[in-house]
Amino acid sequence: MNLGIKFKYQYLHFFILALLLLITTACGGGEKKTEPIETPSATATPEEETRSYVLVDGSSTIFPISDKMAQNFMQDNPNIQVIVGISSSGSGLKKFCIGDLDIGNASRPIKKSEIDLCRANGIEFVEIPIAFDAISVIANQYNDWSDCLTLEELKTIWQPNDSEKINNWKQIREKFPEDRLSLYAPDTDSGTYDYFTDAVIGTAGKSRKDFKASEDDNIIIQGIESDRGSLGFLGLAYYEQNKDVLKLIAIDNGSGQCIEPSQEAIANGSYTPLSRPLLLYVNKDSLEKMPSVKAFVDYQMDVTNKGVISEVGYVPVSGTLQVKVKEHLEELTTGSVFEGESAVGVKLIDKYLSEKERKQRGGS
């Protein structure tokens, strides 16, 4: 099934099921309820504590993982409904931090402002790195002049400087044709946009504004496919699903080597700085009081299910990091290891090791 059709169907399915669950709850309780479905809080009722559905929303990058995991999980657990929505990291975390979700998916770490929103609403969370991804830089399939761009060229293209704006390919490199340059990217609420601008420009959310933006990654793909002078970026899985109609651009980060994003390049660290962790934010109350939520989170963390992550084009968390993340989950360790800061250039395992463990690891 085409990803665009599937995503739209899944998003509609999310709201239909949520509405049905709300109606069922209102009728069963003998009391009219008009408020939206919310994840449990410290004052959750017994009915809420035993509910058999899980609400997930957020990053479109993580959607393929959550969707496939949910489908497999529901086959094994037919009494539990996992409702997976798709929006953006920013939208998902806003819903999560006001208590409307059990799990918020994000393709960049939670921001300080979002941590403050969670705190203001009494939402404690457990942060779970679920996989590693790469942001792929993509062009029209008929682009026959550019196979590799440098990180500095990307910065020049996307810099927020109206007086030196790049409007055609020849301005990027003399040997390129004088074709109009059209830029496509996720909208500014997207974790992919935040991470890309952080890694390339040096500040998250800072870039030129005259690009064609959408929260629907498939619209971005369609735009690039139909525009010969196009250039854009998306999570690797979306390129992999559409590589027959797109061109992948390798990136030289200053090393002199042109590296394409791939599972191997993500795993060995050679595709930097555009590789990143993908994160789940799980409501602590939901984990403690909702067996359905705990079961689904445990299912995603189970090493026997990591093949799903590779299948959709990402790299599973493994080794020592997998052990440390599971310890955080089992101990219900709350908060973000990033503390509201950037993940660009961060070696994630170092965030989970003590100073003594880091020294031992460095000497081994």
Look up the CATH number of the domain holding residue 29. 3.40.190.10
| Residue 271: per-residue pLDDT | 96
Same domain, 320 and 348: yes
pLDDT digits (tens, 9 = 90+) for 30-54: 333 323 334 344 334 555 556 689 9
Least-confidence region, from 3-12, 89-98, 157-166, 239-248: 3-12
- Asked if pLDDT for residue 143 goes beyond 90, the answer is yes
pLDDT for 193 equals: 97
How far from 35 is each of 50, 100, 197, 207, CA to CA, in Å? 19, 11, 37, 38
User: 126 and 139 share a domain?
Assistant: no
What value does the mean pLDDT take over residues 274-298? 97
Q: How far is CA 311 from CA 49, 67, 241, 251, 266, in A?
A: 33, 12, 11, 24, 15
Domain that includes residue 330, residue range:
3-132+277-360
Q: What is the CA radius of gyration of the chain?
A: 21
Q: Decide which of 243, 275, 307 is a domain's last residue.
A: 275
* Local confidence band at 19 (pLDDT 50, 70, 90 cut-offs): very low
Whether the per-residue pLDDT at 15 is higher than 50: the answer is no
pLDDT value for 355: 76
pLDDT of residue 49: 54
Q: Mean pLDDT for the chain?
A: 88
Looking at per-residue confidence, does 355 or 121 come out higher? 121
CA geometry: angle 151, 58, 278, nearest 5 deg? 45
Q: How far is CA 110 from CA 59, 117, 165, in A?
A: 12, 11, 31
Whether residue 269 is found in the same domain as residue 150: yes
Residue ending a domain, among 275, 305, 328, is: 275
d(CA 286, CA 294): 7
pLDDT of residue 168: 96
Specify whether the backbone of 17 is left (phi greater than 0), alpha (psi in -120 to 50) or beta.
alpha
- pLDDT of residue 328 exceeding 80: yes
Confidence of residue 16 (pLDDT cuts 50, 70, 90): very low
Q: Is there a single domain that holds both residue 150 and residue 265?
A: yes
Q: For residues 74 and 57, state if they share a domain.
A: yes
Tens of pLDDT, residue by residue over 180-230, are 999 999 999 999 999 999 999 999 999 999 999 999 999 999 999 999 999
pLDDT of residue 71: 97
Domain boundary among 258, 275, 292: 275
Q: Looking at the structure, do residues 138 and 271 belong to the same domain, yes or no?
A: yes
Say if residue 148 is in the same domain as residue 258: yes
Q: Is 50 exceeded by the pLDDT of residue 22?
A: no
Give the count of domains, the chain: 2
